[in-house]
Structure 1
Amino acid sequence: MAIVNIHGGFIFFYIFLTILPLISSDSDYEALLKLKRSLTFTALLDSWKPGTEPCEIWAGVVCENGVVSGLRLGHMGLSGKIDVDALVSLSGLRSISFTSNSFSGPIPDFRKMGALKGLYLSGNKFSGEIPSDYFTAMTGLKKVWLSGNQFTGPIPYSLGMLSHLTELHLESNQFSGTIPPFEQTGLTSLDLSNNNLVGEIPSSLSRFDATSFKGNPSLCGDNIGRTCNPFMDSSKGPVENDISVNATTKKTALWVLVASILLLLLMVAGICVLRRRQEEDIDVLEKGNLDDLNYKKKSSVGKKDYNSSRKGFGSGHRAGSSRRGSGDLVMLNDEKGEFGLGDLMKAAAEVLGSGALGSSYKATMTNGLTVVVKRIKEVNKMGRGQFDAAMRDLGRLQHKNVLTPLAYHYRKDEKLLVYEYQPNGSLLFLLHGDRGISHAKLNWPVRLKIVKGIARGLEYIHTELSTLELPHGDLKSSNVILTTDYDPLLTEYGFCSFIGSAQAAQELTAYKSPEAILHYEVSPKCDVYSLGVIILEILTGKFPSQYLSNGKGGIDLVQWVKSAVSEGREVDLFDPDIANTVNVIGVMQQLVHIAVACAENNPEKRMDIREVVRRIEEVDVPDKGICHQGMKTLDVLPSLSDGFGDQTIVPHQSPAFEHYDTHGSDKRDVDVGDQSGRISFAFDAT
């Protein structure tokens, strides 16, 4: 009898384990539909339909073993009141992202979700004060992103009690008061910039540099090089302290402050004089407001129109005594000849633009060589030895589709990278900004040549820089430069080793991959996702919203294409400039499917770069006898079925967006009202 009971127990337990996922799935299904009903402007959630499987085709739903574990609902134009009770009933939910939508009002009551590990609400219009004990019960939280909202009041003290906290981003709000004593040793990414915080920065945050605290004029501490007033109450700002002290103390404090300022000014003046003398010989670029100048390229004739006059790098400075190819300019490649800082300072310089990491300049030297000098300021405090080693790794790269730096210059506050200038400019400009002769040459054979070159170059970078977490990290059309023969050259690779993780997450395209957005996990597979986006951009002629940091403009290219493929409408995707090309529709469809496979939501299902190159190499223009008529559909490959849904993707309809930043580019105004993705902007040709 006991044996029967034991066996019966095992049978019951087995049945329970078998039906548990089904019960959870049904529960998740109802909870998600309830959540959708609480939202407005849900056009991009059309795949959330009764009778369909959430874990198979519902947009933004991430599952593990048939249970919803994450919601990635960023950039979907959503608003309304988030039904937190519906979210609570999702027992397996560990990460939610509502970034870059239109939610407003107080922060929803997510504190009911004690098991949550990631909370991403950046880029909305949430406002008001967050209760001090709001995060007390959310003991599992590791990543909290509330940046770009309108929150006020003090930073919730309970954030400092989250023992597992690794990332905290509260920048660009209106938080006030002092900073809580965050003592979590695992906290690796922190941004409190552009708020109204006051007082001394806690010593427990001494490992974070000034970028984490900029834009808070009443903060002080060693991190930002601002000495705290010994008479200041750290719980108050300077104005409050002046009011609270008595008249005698105020007068004494004022005299001490004046004396300190005078002494400081004298010291700074002395240091500036000494530094000026030391740097006269190595000051490569003329000081001034050069970063605000634009480089514009006229679309009709392809000529350059500069709103700055030509000037020498060394205007107002003597040439110096740098030796050719040595000294302060380190040559990495002398195939184009050797040159030194003196040659650059005597060259006529033209400002190309400024971007996320710094500014770019074009210089033609007396030997006829034209180069692009990238002046990079926003880099981490990498020592000279580390920077030299990193640049040697980049300098030894030799590939037909990789633009290798010729030389570099190291200085503590800024670095210069020197490349050979390519007059055809970038793929971004030729696809979207230039409607003249150069754009007309982007026929199908040229576009296929560009796709293959980009893939080959990326495979080479992944092989040679395999030790980097992100071998490229910033693959997008603005970082693909075209030679006079329209061979693509990849640039801006390997920069993840130069900049901190917080800045990388904000600036590098690899962090726009699904796993980076949802879990902040990055790997070489993120580059493969970026490759999929750029292939789709080449085929469709559409400007991807994945390139933008403000969520305005462009089109969610991946979701738009996946929807069309699932409905067998690949033919409708192609750029009209190549869609009428004879005999190639079937070939284009093959390439679409490869690109979509690159852009798989799940990185484990995504191909590695070697497999991508192998499949792309098999794509070619068919024999002339093959006609494209009747080739309206192509069976969806089994590996591409995940993530596809019967949905209609509606791009953002904002009339224009500004400040599309690339490394070495300036302000853009992009008209996307007709969803064509055509651009007219100031552009960096390098």
Structure 2
Amino acid sequence: MSESEALLKLKSSFTNAKALDSWMPSTAPCRGGEEEWSGVVCSEGIVTGLYINSLGLSGKIDVDALTELTGLRTFSVANNSFSGKTPEFSRLGGLRAIYLDKNQFSGEIPPGYFDEMGALRKLWFSNNKFRGRLPPSLFKLPHLTELHLESNQFNGTIPSFDQPTLVRLNLSSNKLEGEIPASLLRFNASSFSGNAGLCGKNLGVECRNAKASAANKNIHPPPPPHPAAENVDDSKKVIAAGVALSVMLVSIAIVVIIRIRRKRKAFKVLEKESVQAVEVRVSVPNKSRDVDVSRKASSSRRGSSHHGKNSGVGELVLVNGQKGVFGLPDLMKAAAEVLGNGGLGSSYKAMMADGVTVVVKRMKESSAMARDAFDTEVRRLGRLRHSNVLAPLAYHYRADEKLLVYEYIPGGSLLYLLHGDRGPSHDELTWPARLKIVQGIARGIGYLHTELAHLDLPHGNLKSSNIFISPENEPLISEFGFYTMINSANLAQALFAYKAPEAIQSGKVTPKCDVYCLGIIILEILTGKFPSQYLTNGNGGIDVVEWVASAFSEGRVTDLLDPEIASSTNSPGEMEQLLEIGRACTQSDPEQRLEMREAVRRIVEIQQSDGNMDARTSQNILPTLDHGCAENQESGKSHESVLDNFDNRISGR
């Protein structure tokens, strides 16, 4: 059965399917990589997602038809009128997201329903009429990131669930009871409210069983000691007390020594305070300060490099072996110089004895995230593989200090190339070079929005100082995925995405804040102006968004272009197209702002119209189709990473 036939068979199982009139036998659901049928998402001519939400659909969901869509990764029928038992989605082992919320599904979910759905990441069964116990197989899914079961009639206890990938959980408004498992204590009370029988620290409700047990001990005290015990020699008691006191004093001394050594191990540098000075004057200072790293490390090279989660708190944990194996002693013996101090902390350049040069970022505003959770997040970032993404190599964790290690890119940042030393590197920023850089940034940020779609801010700190340029003018995006690692009170000061208008007004962030940041970079590259949006004090730079909007209204668009590229032949039309995209990305109303996928598509079309697409770009028209991620390579399903980029967009999450 072809995909067209399968979808038409599925449509025939629905009632009131007038909204799917575009699903016609004479047409194809996917054509040339684009979606032709409403609610259908395609990748490389394969149907990967169905988003048929809020269409008044009812009837039966023909799972037999869905099994013919071998590339299907997302299925969403949210806010319709489907009812009855849960469809046999367990037959669709490749699904990564299911959205059945706001329907009338009912009945119990079989205990082993999710046994064959190991790829599932997002599950929304909220606002239905499901009942019975939570299926144990649900809590064994290895990659689950979002679980919404609120507003149903589930009862019984919550199974123990130790899944570090889970970032969103909502079990509220059910009939659950018992103690909340310790593995779920990281979620707040709203995830469990509306369950009268639940207890635990999250809800501030003491569990009765524990209280009753304590009361029972008071009612039935332990039996008195045997009379012989009272005959213990007093001298032995004195000796035992002396030994205990000695052990306690030695322990205190060890703790004090460790703390003193940790303080001595801290980087001793004078951090720069002016953001403008650091970000604009990026050239290496004449009197660079070396980081004091001439110290002994407590961990061995082998232990700090290979032990991973089991390694000690003071070790360096490798999460990406692309630059070889190195440990904390190697890093600490390297002479380093200060590169600057940004919103997330200080950065240092360090060359190790084997010649490998790295950048060490010291996160000063890191959250109190537990080590296991921090390890999970950084390892997820370290697994990312894309030609325009700079993934971390290693990390060092302490409760009061966290270091992230990256590969050093000698070409410098995009901000420095645009606004720093007007030397040969700046002269190479011709229009074709700038267009290539914009296209690479779009490809990279699209990939991040795919692989980090579970975050409200897949990047969060996208700006020209966090984009590094290779000698071939390939951009490398850095400092992404930090949204969950920073204290919530410091997010607005640390992440540039909070400069988006809606974030300034309400503090609320969405993936469209990253779209706004992409727009700022586009306007910065085209105009050559330093955006005042990068500064915290408002002194210096130009408000590029306001300036561009004013120029468009006054009909002087060509005045916006950097004079160094405005004279390029056969290019003004392409520059104006990119200006339009930058303007659309920086709309103050996020609803009027472009979606990330649409922005990428339009940028690539400009590249195509010029005929300058390189071989790699021509093979990967959209960044969401670039599957360098190790996870996708292991699964062998090259179109899987399309899912997370679009499910939030189309299903309105």
Q: Given the two structures, how large is their TM-score scaled by the length of structure 2? A: 0.51
Q: How far does the alpha carbon of each residue in 1:300-349 deviate from its partner, in whole angstroms, 9 at most, with x for none?
A: 9x974442354662x14357534251331111111211111111122222
Pick from 474, 482, 485 the counterpart of residue 461 of structure 2: 474
Specify which of 425, 438, 441 is matched with residue 451 of structure 1: 438
CA distance in 2, matches of 1:464, 1:489: 16
Change (3 A) 1:505 1:472: same
Paired amino acid for 1:274: V
Residue type of the alignment partner of 1:580: S
3-state DSSP class of the match of 2:456?
coil
| Counterpart Cα distance in 1 of 2:331 and 2:298 | 9
1:400 maps onto 2:387 in alignment: yes
Q: Which residue number corresponds to residue 291 of structure 1? A: 271
SS state at 1:374 partner: strand
Structure scoring higher RCO (CA < 8 A, sep ≥ 6) equals 1
Q: Give the equivalent residue in structure 1 for 2:398.
A: 411
Separation of aligned partners in 2, 1:576 and 1:534: 17
Identity %: 55
Aligned to 1:317: 296
Deviation of the 1:270 alpha carbon: 9.4
Residue 606 to residue 271, structure 1, CA distance change in 2 (3 Å): farther
**Match runs of 1:487-526 below 5 Å:** 487-526=474-513
Corresponding residue for 2:595?
A: 608
Corresponding residue for residue 567 of structure 1:
554
Query: Quick one: which of 372, 376, 380 aligns to 2:359?
Result: 372
Contact 2:280-2:416 at 8 Å conserved across structures? no
Query: What is the correspondence of 1:162-241 to structure 2 with a 5 Å cutoff?
Result: none
Kindly provide the amino acid, as one letter, of the partner of residue 602 in structure 1. Answer: D
Aligned partners of 1:580, 1:587: CA distance in 2, in Å? 13
- CA gap 1:367/1:499 in 2 versus in 1, 3 angstroms: same
1:553 equivalent to 2:544? Answer no
Q: Distance in 1 between matches of 2:253 and 2:554?
A: 66
User: Which residue is equivalent to 1:274?
Assistant: 255
Cα RMSD of the aligned pairs, angstroms, is 3.2
The partner residue of 1:307 within 268, 283, 287 is 287
Residue 321 of structure 1 aligns with an amino acid whose one-letter code is S
Change (3 A) 1:584 1:373: same
Query: For each residue in 1:43-74, what CA deviation from the matched residue of structure 2 results, as whole angstroms up to 9, or x when unmatched?
Result: xxxxxxxxxxxxxxxxxxxxxxxxxxxxxxxx
- Where 2:419 maps in the other structure, the secondary structure is helix
**SS, match of residue 591 in structure 1:** helix
Partner SS state of residue 398, structure 1? coil
* C-alpha contact (below 8 Å) 2:394/2:404 kept by paired residues: yes
- Aligned pairs for 1:528-677 within 5 A: 528-620=515-607
In structure 1, the partner of 2:333 is 346
Query: Does the 8 Å CA contact 1:331/1:408 hold for their aligned counterparts?
Result: yes
Q: Equivalent of 2:343, from 341, 353, 356?
A: 356
Tell me how far apart the structure 2 counterparts of residues 389 and 377 of structure 1 sit (CA, whole Å): 20
> Measured at CA, do residues 468 and 309 of structure 1 come closer, stay the same or move farther in structure 2, by a change above 3 Å?
closer
Q: How many Å separate the matches in 1 of 2:456 and 2:526?
A: 29
Structure number with the higher helix fraction is: 2
| Structure 2 unmatched ranges of 5 or more | 1-188, 191-203, 205-247, 612-653
Distance change >3 Å, CA 577–CA 598, structure 1 → 2: same
AA in 2 matched with 1:427: L
Q: State the distance in 1 between where 2:383 and 2:264 align.
A: 25
Offset of residue 474 of structure 1: 0.9
Q: Cα–Cα, structure 1 residues 329 and 279, in superposed 2: closer, same or farther, change >3 Å?
A: farther
Separation (CA, whole Å) in 1 of partners of 2:500 and 2:322:
37
Partners of 1:599 and 1:297 lie apart in 2 by 25
Q: Post-superposition shift, 1:378?
A: 1.6
Given the superposition, is the C-alpha separation of residues 615 and 348 from structure 1 closer, same or farther in structure 2, using an over 3 Å criterion?
Answer: same
Asked whether the 8 Å contact 1:319–1:346 carries over to 2, the reply is: no
Q: TM-score under structure 1 normalisation?
A: 0.49
Unaligned runs of 5+ in 1: 1-184, 187-206, 208-266, 625-686
The Cα of 1:400 is off from its aligned counterpart by 0.7
3-state SS in 2 of match to 1:619? helix
* Contact 1:299-1:436 within 8 A present in 2 as well: no
Classify 1:594/1:284 alpha carbon distance in 2 versus 1 (closer, same or farther; 3 Å). farther
Compute the displacement of 1:567 (Å): 2.4
1:384-422 Cα offsets, whole Å, 9 max, x none, are 111111111111111111100011111110101000000
